[in-house]
Amino acid sequence: MIKFATRSLCLAALLLCSALVACSDDPKVNQPNVLLVVVDTLRADHLTPYGYTMNPTTPELQKLVDAEGLEVLPGLVAASSWTKPSMATLFTGLAPSQHGVMRLIGKNSKLKDMHTLAAEFKAAGYDTGCVMSNFLLTKRTKTGYDYGFDFYDDSTGTKQDPHRDSTAQVVTDSGLQWLSERDPDKPWLLVLHYFDPHASFEDHANVDWLDPGYQGWVTGGASTDTLREHEANCSSADRAALAAFYDEEIHAVDHQIGRAVEQLKSSQQWADTVLMFTADHGEELGERGHIGHTQTLFPELVDIPLMVRVPQPWKSAWDLPEAAGGGYQMTQLYPALMGVAGIELPAGRSASAPAYVAVEVDFEPVRKEHVEKYVQKRLVRDGSFTLIRDLRSGSEQLFDHAADPQMLAPLSDQHPKLQKLQALLDTHDWWEAP
């Protein structure tokens, strides 16, 4: 009787071990789904979770913060002030000096590193999908941003005029359709890229945040050429009108993010899904004589949102350390997503916190009439101090962004912090034109 009981216990133990092994091999147990939401030209200071009160731009994101564990992480700095280099960094975890993308056209406009986020997730057994709305990153441009994706819908970026109309619903519809058709037994990575806050700024009928007394030139859907014509002479009323339409675009995207989350809940996938919400860069709304982006490295262009929700089973695998002086660098997002999915980092990437953060823009416009947009600027941020150097003019500006968040009052060139930041600028590995 004792011998039989012992044999029964051994058999039960073996069955239990087999079950545990089977569970450990199940990717749905060990690997979360990953939803990466990227909103083009989205500045952090226009979002409700970051304290914005002028208009209720992001009620759906705020609900996720309040009730679903979405964490608001301040201090993320974009890799650059325009799309191609920043998205290259987001997709590879490499700085511009490493991935080499800093031009609109030509060989320095193409993503050559093959260890993209999509490629690494695919190799780890994930289904990989992306709905891309930026016309610069479509497959027909042959720039490599689609590499590694099983599904890459860039139809919204191939419109005749990609700057016009709202495409947020189409992006969400496409992503949800792909999720509904894929193998439910495999984990997935889905990138939803929304374009709406990029100029032109459309007027949305369901909200009306424009001052009814405004009589100026700003209208919903004003062309980029119109914006450029007026940008140097914006009044405070003009800037408020631009912000109103910009906020309406953000609100449209926020609604669609809420739709996506509700679908994940109804399909029983939300509990297994890591959500990362961010942007490629921000947008100027006439504050310094510019409307759009690329031309500066001030907060409205490089201070972007980062919100993350990690379900409990994977919290111990989540690792995103702050830089030594605070804040985050865009190169850190790739290793953080790889780590939470249990995927080994390729060479050249690091999950360690940087000692400081760096941003650069070296923008060469294609259209000759946009020669004023040819800019070469570099930024380093160490703690609460930021130094910006203009390579074309040789000028430098030092700011204490803790005391002066909008960076409106440059500090003296005799400030004791200046030399340290100059040394960082001098020794950092920057992108160089070949």
Contact (Cβ atoms closer than 8 angstroms) between residue 296 and residue 284 = yes
Q: Of all helices (H) and strands (E), which one includes residue 292?
A: strand 291-292
**C-alpha dist (Å) from residue 107 to 93, 111, 359, 373:** 20, 9, 22, 20
The residue whose two tokens read 């990466």 is 36
pLDDT score of 369: 54
Residue 349 falls inside a structural domain: yes
- The span from the CA of 79 to the CA of 337, in Å, is 17
Neighbours of 310 (CB within 10 A): 21
Task: Outline where DSSP puts E strands in 7-81.
Answer: 33-39, 71-72, 76-77
- The span from the CA of 108 to the CA of 84, in Å, is 10
119 by DSSP, 3-state: which? helix
pLDDT score of 162: 80
User: How many helices (H) and strands (E) are present in the chain, helices listed first?
Assistant: 12, 16
384 by DSSP, 3-state: which? coil
Residue 113 falls inside a structural domain: yes
pLDDT score of 22: 38
Residue 420 falls inside a structural domain: no
**Residue 103 dihedral angles phi and psi, to the nearest 5°:** -135, 155
Residue 25 falls inside a structural domain: no
Task: Give the tokens for residue 65.
Answer: 């913060």
Residue 359 falls inside a structural domain: no
- The span from the CA of 223 to the CA of 30, in Å, is 48
Strand 76-77 vs strand 328-329: parallel, antiparallel, or unpaired?
parallel
What is the full per-residue pLDDT of the chain (434 aa) written as tens digits? 433 344 443 334 333 333 343 344 444 458 999 999 999 999 999 999 999 999 999 999 999 999 999 999 999 999 999 999 999 999 999 999 999 999 999 999 999 999 999 999 999 999 999 999 999 999 999 999 999 999 999 999 888 788 888 899 999 999 999 999 999 999 999 999 999 999 999 999 999 999 999 999 999 999 988 999 999 999 999 999 999 999 999 999 999 999 999 999 999 999 999 999 999 999 999 999 999 999 999 999 999 999 999 999 999 999 999 998 889 999 999 999 999 999 999 998 999 999 999 999 999 987 665 566 789 999 999 999 999 999 999 999 999 999 999 999 999 999 999 999 999 999 999 999 98
Instruction: State the CATH number of the domain containing residue 318.
Output: 3.40.720.10
The residue whose two tokens read 């009306």 is 208
Residue 389 falls inside a structural domain: no
Report how many domains make up the chain: 1
Residue 158 falls inside a structural domain: yes
The residue whose two tokens read 């000759």 is 368
Residue 378 falls inside a structural domain: no
286 by DSSP, 3-state: which? coil
Strand 188-194 vs strand 76-77: parallel, antiparallel, or unpaired?
unpaired
**Residue 220 dihedral angles phi and psi, to the nearest 5°:** -65, 130
- DSSP-assigned letter for residue 323: P
- The span from the CA of 402 to the CA of 422, in Å, is 19
Domain span at residue 173?
30-354
pLDDT score of 168: 94
